[in-house]
Amino acid sequence: MDLSLAPNAIAMTAKEFQIWSKNFMVETMKATGAKKLLDGITAPMWAWGQRNAIYPLHFGVACCALEMAAASASRWDCERLGMVYRSSPRQSDVLLINGWISQKLRPALRKLYEQMPEPKWVVAMGECCISGGPWYDGYNVIQGLDTFIPVDIYIPGCPPHPEAMLDAFLLLNKKITAEQKGTFLD
């Protein structure tokens, strides 16, 4: 064991020991090739868990919010796909935004996005969110969520039907499977 990595191997605080031991484990795993092996085994499991337990943070300010609520009702039942709406960004992995975005709302949305833990995805629902909708030429309307937050899935329509929202989340499931984020010892 290389003690030169530790600032003071005899007396360390708990925080220093935690950082040192994590770095030691990561470097050992990379040097021996065990990280690649564990990534190959665990990445599909992480992706399976992430795509089957999606926690969207719902942020609706217009008529699309009604369609989003309808997708949760018994007729379409989005929970059967593993979607459980959360009200805290720290408990969410998908930011589901619909409605027009004003200049005043923009910083709050950016802050919500930054508060979400990694890995995270963004879904833009409805024409207002995608391009500004009927108010695209308004002085205070942002012409698209993707101008300040990276968007993964777009759901077009005014308002889009609940089936479109469910289809978009099935596309997001495929994207999560392909990306396989959350590998071992990142």
Delimit the domains of the chain by residue range: 14-49, 54-179
- 29 three-class SS: helix
CB 134 within 8 A of CB 104: no
CATH class of the structural domain 54-179: alpha beta
How deeply is 119 buried, as exposed, middle or buried, from its count of CB atoms within 10 A (0-12, 13-18, 19+)? middle
At 107 the pLDDT is: 93
At 115 the pLDDT is: 93
- 95's tokens: 């930011």
- 52's tokens: 């089957």
Q: Place 1 in a pLDDT band, splitting at 50, 70 and 90.
A: very low
Q: Mind listing the pLDDT tens digit for each residue in 17-46? A: 888 888 888 888 888 888 788 878 887 877
Mean pLDDT over each residue of the chain, to the nearest integer: 84
Tell me: pLDDT of 186 over 80: no
At 13 the pLDDT is: 83
Ramachandran region of residue 93, left (φ > 0), alpha (ψ -120 to 50) or beta? Answer: alpha
Q: Place 66 in a pLDDT band, splitting at 50, 70 and 90.
A: confident
Distances (CA, A) of 72 to 75, 80, 169: 8, 10, 13
**H/E element, 155:** strand 153-155
Residues 164-173, mean pLDDT to the nearest whole number: 90
The residue with greater pLDDT, 14 or 182, is 14
Distances (CA, A) of 36 to 33, 68, 161, 176: 6, 40, 43, 20
